[in-house]
Chain A
Amino acid sequence: MESYLIAISIGILIYMLMALGLSLHYGFTGLVNFGHVGFFAIGSYTSALLALQGVPIPLAMVGATLLTALAAWPLGIVALRLGSDYLAIVTLGFSESVRMMLQSEEWLTRGMHGLPGIPRMYEGWIPAAQIDLAIMLTLLAVNGAVFWLVTRVVKSPFGRVIEAVRDNEVAVRALGKDPARFKTRSLMLGAGLAGLAGAFQAHYLTFLSPEQFVPLITFYIWIAIFVGGANRLLGVALGTVIMVGFLEGSRFVRDFVGGISEVQMASVRIWVIGMALILIVLYRPQGILGTKAGKST
């Protein structure tokens, strides 16, 4: 039972890192990023490929985080030219392009065959039975550190500017600050977080394939931050827990409610998510913990 709970926790914590990054993008800077899974993918594959070449895992993960943040830079240059409607599509195109590239460049990524045998985190350092526990604890610590970091960033002068960019870009410009630079930096920071999450995924699953990085993942993260409250970090954490908890928990519902086949259960699960989205937008748009201040939806 424990191993199962640990596995779920790891899933939650990896998603939480991604969600923190997206909340930086949308909750605090007002950037509508629908391509977040693309950063997740870049981080995953970079760390995996580096580690497969012999680079020690901690270094590979750091490298992956940095590379992902760098990859966000050109996207940032594009972001500054486009309004939110367009940014959503362009970022979605970005993540799909990343996925297509992962599928096609077999010489690098083995394409659709995937990358098996990725070095597992802590392999050789900790007895095998304890590794998942160690990974979970590491993720807890990292998430804690990122929480602290993002809180500091948000309270810093930089943070105040990006919130201003979210609320009133014209005013920011009038004050002589260039919104573009701040948007780009915010984008890079959030992307780096997603990249770090991806690196964890690679060294936990030890198997990567392009099918793991579909836009649906981005949508799940969006739902998570929306349900919890996009501009409050605790809300983001809560939203992720609820989201993953629901997706996993719905398995057990079938054990209690007879008469529904597995096929139908899959439909019911997503149906409930859809209804939850509709109802939350209609009746509690700030999410469970979000504040009405900030990006009003």
Chain B
Amino acid sequence: MELIPILNAVINGTVLGTLLSLPILAITMVFGISRFPNAATGDYMTLGAYTAVATQAWIGSSLVLAVVSASVVTALIAVFFYLWVFRALAKRSNVARLIASLGVAFVVRTTITFFAGQDQYNLEMGRIMRAWNWHGIRILPMDVYILLTAIGALGIAFVILHATPLGRRMRAVADNPDLAAASGIRSRRVMLYLWLLSGFFCGLGGVLLAIKAVVVPELGFELLMPMFAAVILGGIGNPIGAVVGSLIFGISQEIATLYVGPSYKIVIAFLVLLVLLLFRPQGLFGRPIMAR
């Protein structure tokens, strides 16, 4: 077992895991508060990526501007769909909201492809830089920027969630919805902020992904499953769990690629999840769930 490939895999997995922890955080908060898995998350990410491309094409080639506009636009669209679709479904079952979110996912994606087509787009990033190489351990400058941006966003999120009254209310609802409902916490403001934050993070995650990869219509949808798995791994509704789950998933997948064929790495990730759930059904950080 050589150390260097493993270390490189860990680094790659960490960058990917931190990047994805943004939309995963969005998923877990929505899951915890609105109690449904938001299948539109992936396509919100795609929306962010395409918005960034459009910004660079029409407004200016600044990458920072593209990142900001991606996040803001996606946040607004997320609020729009909350106001139109999800708010009306508040009293219905999880499956209803899940299916509605699937509909939203389709609508968002196809609206994009109607105008943008199916071919790939690329973000303009200036010159591509070489990695810093330390005895075979490689770190990419772009990855460092992505990491810093993601960590910064996470930091802000955690400050909001832990240090502001609104954030505390959100966590309370996510943690124990029945108690929260009984005490009347679930207010309009909480929900609006939830979706603003959720959309912002999906859009940000999407544009960071676009920086690392390419922009194609399936960009976000393809990641839905691993993201949901990470949410469950970390415990539904738990922000720390989301980040930890995302990192574990990202790193373990990269390490698995070293030893098993790339086809099987997703299978292994699922086996890990399954085994964990059988022993600890609430995930790593979740509260023990009651009999359903």
In the assembled complex, A255 has its CB within 8 A of some CB on chain B: no
State the CA gap A296–B91 with chains docked (Å). 11
State the CA gap A101–B99 with chains docked (Å). 28
8 Å CB interface, B86-115 against A: 88-89, 92-100, 102-107, 109-111, 113-114
In the complex, the answer to whether A277 meets B264 with C-beta atoms within 8 Å is no
Segment at the A interface, from B157-165, B201-209, B245-253, B272-280:
B272-280
A-side contacts of B111, CB under 8 Å: 267, 271
The A-B contact count (CB < 8 A) is 135
In the complex, the answer to whether B109 meets A270 with C-beta atoms within 8 Å is yes
Q: Please, how many residues of chain A have a CB less than 8 angstroms from a CB on the other chain?
A: 47
State the CA gap A271–B94 with chains docked (Å). 23
B-side contacts of A219, CB under 8 Å: 102
Segment at the A interface, from B4-12, B144-152, B228-236:
B228-236
In the assembled complex, B182 has its CB within 8 A of some CB on chain A: no
State the CA gap A96–B100 with chains docked (Å). 23
B271 to chain A, nearest CB (A): 8
Which partner residue on chain B sits nearest A285 by CB separation? B96
Main secondary structure of the interface of A (DSSP, over half): helix
In the complex, the answer to whether A296 meets B93 with C-beta atoms within 8 Å is yes
Which partner residue on chain A sits nearest B107 by CB separation? A274
In the complex, the answer to whether A78 meets B274 with C-beta atoms within 8 Å is yes
B-side contacts of A94, CB under 8 Å: 270
A-side contacts of B104, CB under 8 Å: 274, 278
B-side contacts of A267, CB under 8 Å: 110-111, 113-114
State the CA gap A281–B89 with chains docked (Å). 8
In the complex, the answer to whether A100 meets B99 with C-beta atoms within 8 Å is no
In the complex, the answer to whether A81 meets B277 with C-beta atoms within 8 Å is yes
In the complex, the answer to whether A93 meets B102 with C-beta atoms within 8 Å is no
In the assembled complex, B263 has its CB within 8 A of some CB on chain A: yes
B-side contacts of A138, CB under 8 Å: none
In the assembled complex, B176 has its CB within 8 A of some CB on chain A: no
In the assembled complex, A103 has its CB within 8 A of some CB on chain B: yes
In the assembled complex, A32 has its CB within 8 A of some CB on chain B: yes
State the CA gap A179–B98 with chains docked (Å). 25
State the CA gap A93–B102 with chains docked (Å). 18
B-side contacts of A153, CB under 8 Å: none
A-side contacts of B37, CB under 8 Å: 85, 88-89
B-side contacts of A266, CB under 8 Å: 113, 118
B87 to chain A, nearest CB (A): 11
* Residues A89 and B103 in contact in the complex (CB < 8 Å), given A268-B110, A268-B114, A270-B109: no
In the assembled complex, B291 has its CB within 8 A of some CB on chain A: yes
In the assembled complex, B181 has its CB within 8 A of some CB on chain A: no
8 Å CB interface, A95-116 against B: 96-97, 100-101, 103-104
In the assembled complex, A170 has its CB within 8 A of some CB on chain B: yes
Query: Can you name 10 extra interface pairs (CB under 8 A) apart from A267-B110, A278-B100, A281-B96?
Result: A81-B277, A81-B278, A85-B236, A100-B266, A104-B264, A263-B117, A274-B107, A277-B103, A278-B103, A282-B85
